[in-house]
Amino acid sequence: MKLVVLTGAGISAESGLKTFRDSDGLWEGYNIYDVATPEAWKRNPELVQQFYNERRRQVLAAQPNAAHLALAALEHHYDVEIITQNIDDLHERAGATKVTHLHGVITRSQSDRVPHLTYPIRGAEIKMGELCEHGAQLRPHVVWFGEPVPMIEVAAEICRQADIFVLIGTSLAVYPAAGLIDFVPAGTTKYIIDPKIPDVSRYQNVVTIEKGAVAGMNMLNAILAGG
């Protein structure tokens, strides 16, 4: 049975990682348009590189929490596919084996000229002057605002196959990721875990768990075990 999970910032927040949406449009004190757009990169690549080097150090210092671990453990009972909006690698470090990153993963770099060319990062930093095999500067492997989301069609196809669907820690406010729930079959049970449940009134077979990620996963495990 295929269990498809869409995760957002709420699951990583319980590991201490912040996103810009926590503080009125600022991300760690920076305006997102100064650090998370292609225009910002063209305008001040050193600042953008420094910003993501700092975020990468935070990710590497963070640990998967009980919600990440619980999702990985579900692989013992289900064919689990995780789609995440998060750029950290906490799902993988928790043991999840099928993870689709919609917005890239900060522990890899990518070519500024050929976006599909990505590389593992040694240590925590990408330095200015580090080049890809085509001679272009390496940048964070992160989908910035205004850039296409190359994995969205793959994710949509995964959602179409869901026998059980779980949404954790996302407000369904960032598109195109927020539209993925529309591809889940109408008859599939949809579990929504978040302290503030987004508006899902137009969907059928919805079970809401108004909790944080860790407490919500505890409740979901109890429900699945009972089923």
Residue-wise pLDDT for 200-223, tens only, equals: 999 999 999 999 999 999 999 999
Residue 73 belongs to domain spanning: 1-17+64-103+143-227
Strand-strand pairing, 138-142 and 164-168: unpaired
Q: Average pLDDT for residues 128-152, to the nearest whole number?
A: 96
Q: Is 103 a catalytic residue?
A: yes
The yes-or-no verdict on residue 190 having pLDDT over 90 is yes
Cα–Cα distance, 35 to 47 (Å, whole number) = 7
Sequence-distant (6+) residues with CB within 8 A of 13 are 19, 22, 169, 213
Does residue 25 lie in a domain region? no
For 119, other C-beta atoms within 10 Å of its C-beta total 15
Strand-strand pairing, 164-168 and 2-7: parallel
Is 78 in contact with 3 (CB distance < 8 Å)?
A: yes
**What single letter denotes the amino acid at residue 32?**
I
Look up residue 176 and give its two tokens: 């195109």
Is 193 in contact with 213 (CB distance < 8 Å)?
A: yes
Does residue 123 lie in a domain region? no
pLDDT at 173: 79
| DSSP string covering 161-204 | T-SEEEEES--S-STTGGGGGGGS-TTSEEEEE-SS----TTSS
Residue-wise pLDDT for 1-16, tens only, equals: 999 999 999 999 999 9
The yes-or-no verdict on residue 128 having pLDDT over 60 is yes
Tell me, rounded to whole angstroms, the distance of Cα 45 from its chain centroid.
24
Long-range contacts of 194-203 (CB under 8 A, 24+ apart): 194/10, 194/167, 194/168, 194/169, 194/170, 195/10, 196/171, 198/170, 198/171, 198/172, 198/173, 199/172, 200/172
Task: Give the domain CATH number at 5.
Answer: 3.40.50.1220
- Averaged confidence pLDDT in the chain: 94
Does residue 116 lie in a domain region? no
Does residue 69 lie in a domain region? yes
pLDDT confidence band for 28 (50 / 70 / 90): confident
Domain count, the chain: 1
Q: Is 129 left (phi over 0), alpha (psi -120 to 50) or beta?
A: left
Does residue 175 lie in a domain region? yes
Cα–Cα distance, 131 to 152 (Å, whole number) = 27
Q: Is 29 left (phi over 0), alpha (psi -120 to 50) or beta?
A: left
pLDDT at 20: 61
pLDDT confidence band for 174 (50 / 70 / 90): confident
Task: Assign 31 to helix, strand or coil.
Answer: strand
Does residue 51 lie in a domain region? no
Does residue 188 lie in a domain region? yes
* The model scores a pTM over 0.85: yes
Catalytic-role residue among 101, 103, 116, 141:
103
Task: Assign 156 to helix, strand or coil.
Answer: helix
Does residue 129 lie in a domain region? no
